[in-house]
A and B are shown apart, each in its own frame.
Chain A
Amino acid sequence: MDFSLNEIQEMLADSIDKFIDNEYDFDTRQKHAASAAGYNPDVWSTFAELGWTAVPFSEDDGGFDGGPVDIMLMMQRFGRGLVVEPFLANVVLAGGILKRVADAGQKQRWLQAIIGGELQATLAFTEPQAGYDLSDVATTAKPDGDGWILNGRKGFVPNGATSELLIVPARTAGEPGDESGITLFAVAADTQGISCNAYHTIDGLRAAEFRLDAVKVAGDTVLGEAGAGYGALDETIADATLAVCAEAVGIMRVLKDKTIEYSKSRSQFGVPIGSFQALQHRMVDMLTECEQAQSLLIWAAMTHAAGGEDASRAVSSIKYLVGTSGQKLGEEAVQIHGGMGVTWDLDVAHYFKRLTAIGQMFGSADWHLDRLAARAA
């Protein structure tokens, strides 16, 4: 039994910790979030220079051969700093598809650019009607000479408006709901026929909806085998789910720590509010839930990394826990901060909002519990 990190992981964790501590305080985060792009491009370049954008890619692709455990370490820290830079969109989502199915030329063209921090990319993994069902792809791609013509709509695309490359699942056969017949396309965002409705999200990040109206793309934009994109999509979203869960666990820890700290410094009735047993037990519960989530996260990351039958169970388990006890922990943190907890100026509310947003993404707690319940013995 060994829960310690290897040397490379230690270095990675350390360098992110230092970055958060020294260069990413809450005010800085708020400034980046409020900027035109919704993140700071210079910080993104730094991420690339430090090699963080290369972590989950193979050495052949110019990466560090990292896996879910490494992403976990990173995302927990990004959660701690409430980082707004588009790591999820570029590295986990777009990069996740490209590393799985792109051919050498495509990787050279797009994955290298993502790793180098020169290209902004994202994945349009959901559609307005689809809910959390990845196979509910109604966007169509029809052959057109050497290329294809795409029509349809995409919902919630993280960092959609600032992305130059969109990875678009479209149906080349079958019906919405079929796993087969989904093809993945790498589409330049400025291609004619694409319109983008960009918006801020409730947690201070950015996303967009897209319409694809007779969008013509060349044959070499197809990633992997036509009609066989679902597997890569499903695996990538599993990675992303685990990644946001790690982020959430990082957030939970911050909320727990800040609440305990606040309860020691805020006095009412002549004593620190932390001296009231009614609050003490609840903060003990917060600690317990944090530790439980941390434990399950480690199991989930290792199990997901190992692949096999339990991999999807692992992802659903941690997403369920984060969506239930994590959410509750967030509510408690706000409550124990009293009026301060619901103000814009205090960081606590923003951690709580991000935690809430994560709960809505990649399957709700209900949705994942259903998946767990439906497992055969």
Chain B
Amino acid sequence: MQVTFSAEEREFREEVRAFFRDEYPEDIREKQAQGAELDPEDQVRWQQLLHAKGWAGINWPVEYGGTGWSPVQKYIFATEEANANAPIIIPFGLSMVGPVIYTFGNDEQKQRFLPDILASRVWWCQGYSEPGSGSDLASLKMRAELAGDHFVVNGTKTWTTLGQHADWIFCLARTNTDVARRQEGISFLLVDMKTPGVSVKPIILLDGTHEVNEIHFDNVKVPVDNLVGEEGKGWTYGKVLLQHERTNIAGVARSRYRVRRLRKQVQKSVRGASPLAGDKNYMRRLAAVEVELKSLEYTELRTLAAVASGNAPGPESSILKIKGTEIQQAIDMLYLQASGYYALPYVPDQYAPDFSGETIGEGLETQSALRYFNNRKASIYGGSNEIQKNIIAKHVLGL
């Protein structure tokens, strides 16, 4: 049993820290500190800086330009990244479609797509969910019919995160309807969003943000070259990806950062009132969340260790997703409760760099409710927490 870092690991940590200290652009740091929304260009610029350092493909094998890092290195990186409050890497290219392509794609596809993904030159989005197929993803209806050298794709994808900025979308689509199990006959397709027949319609979330979209496909021609792996095997590929997604969604390092920031914040007096740290009820709840979070940190480390010894993240990743999102939402609630009346103003404009009016509230106060609202999504997406429990019941408990 050994949980301290080796000399090399400590050295690595210094290197990562130095990078975040020296290379993390001031303007983006400032926006992040204020909780301002990032422009897509900010996001891309940041990911390209990581790429320049060789740190874009965190989970990727070295042969495809990845870091080849050990689980401990990944853990260190995630911790430092969170501590620097750096932007969250948009997962669709680097964590989702990239790994599917290098694992199941052919050489031509690897050459064609991977370098642009790694360098964040192409923005990807994820087209799994449909209006009628959320939790029951295998019921998806998007149709891709083979017609010579291309598929003709028809259907609707929905909840597509940041699809309004995307250049490409990866889709699960039905290429064969004459199958014994619904999961068969689903294929993994890569679609250029500029193809005629693709249209993007915004869906506004409850906090007023445009984060997701509904995407319609009307006789969209997709070259057969854009089929990843075997026809009809898309479900298997997609599932591998989902398990990675679930581990990522847990967001343990981010939660640790947020709790620490909150600990500091409650020591301070806001507007001359006595510091919240004197409120025993509140501090007990904060402490309880810290206990849960420490447990989860070690659950994640144990999962990482298992992955290091050659096991893919299995259904246990569902535990991380459930607990991780529950803790995130508990932290959201703590921020909300710390804000009193100052949770109530809806003033997202005041975080824009060119805002010239009088600001209301201090720190993250006027974002606390919006964050709380928005992050209700965390227990819904990536497979809802109810679905995660079904997975554990079936595949871990054998019920």
Contact = CB atoms under 8 A, between A and B. Distances in A.
Nearest to B343: A360
B360 interface: yes
5 residue pairs, one from A and one from B, having the closest CB atoms: A349-B206, A344-B204, A268-B136, A156-B341, A129-B272
Interface in B210-248: 212
Contacts of A339: 129, 134, 158-159, 212, 377, 380-381
B373 interface: yes
Interface in B39-84: none
Contacts of B369: 202, 353, 356-357, 360
Nearest to A350: B206
B203 to A, nearest CB: 6
B345 A201 contact: yes
A130 B273 contact: yes
A338 interface: yes
A119 B51 CA distance: 62
Contacts of B88: none
B380 A343 contact: no
Contacts of A132: 340
Given A197-B357, A199-B360, A357-B369, 5 more contacts: A197-B358, A200-B345, A201-B346, A341-B380, A352-B206
Nearest to B208: A344
A3 interface: no
A215 interface: no
Contacts of B380: 335, 338-339, 341-342
B14 interface: no
A6 B137 CA distance: 53
A131 B376 contact: no
Contacts of B358: 197
Contact of A129 (B273, B282, B379): B273
Interface string B335-346: 011011111111
Contact of B384 (A338, A349, A357): A338
A343 B205 CA distance: 4
11 contacts: A203-B344, A207-B345, A268-B135, A268-B139, A270-B136, A276-B386, A339-B129, A339-B377, A341-B376, A356-B336, A370-B281
B134 A338 contact: yes
A278 B373 contact: no
B265 interface: no
Interface residues on B, range: 35 or more
A278 B346 contact: no
Is chain B's binding surface mostly helix, strand, loop or mixed?
A: mixed
A299 to B, nearest CB: 24
A47 B120 CA distance: 57
A279 interface: yes
B224 to A, nearest CB: 32
Given A129-B272, A338-B384, A344 B339 contact: no
A129 B271 CA distance: 5
Nearest to A336: B386
B118 interface: no
Interface in B258-273: 271-273
Interface stretch (A226-234, A240-248, A361-369): A361-369
A209 interface: yes
A48 B83 CA distance: 56
A229 B133 CA distance: 59
B370 interface: yes
A164 interface: no
A331 B376 contact: yes
A360 B341 contact: yes
A278 B386 CA distance: 8
Contacts of B374: 342
A126 B341 contact: yes
A146 to B, nearest CB: 33
A226 B69 CA distance: 72
Contacts of B339: 360
B346 A199 contact: yes
Interface string A318-342: 0000000000000100110011011
Interface string B357-399: 1101000000001101110110111001110011000000000
A342 B344 CA distance: 18
B345 A199 contact: yes
A269 B206 contact: no
A334 B373 CA distance: 10
A274 interface: no
B204 A343 contact: yes
Given A129-B271, A201-B345, A344 B205 contact: yes
B380 to A, nearest CB: 6
B106 to A, nearest CB: 34
Interface in B308-342: 336-337, 339-342
B282 A366 contact: yes
B347 interface: yes
A132 B337 CA distance: 12
A128 interface: yes
Given A131-B273, A360-B339, A366-B282, A202 B384 contact: no
Given A268-B134, A331-B376, A345 B343 contact: no
B340 A131 contact: yes
Nearest to A157: B341
Nearest to B274: A131
B215 to A, nearest CB: 14
Contacts of A279: 386
B372 A356 contact: yes
B26 interface: no
Nearest to B379: A335
Contacts of A181: none
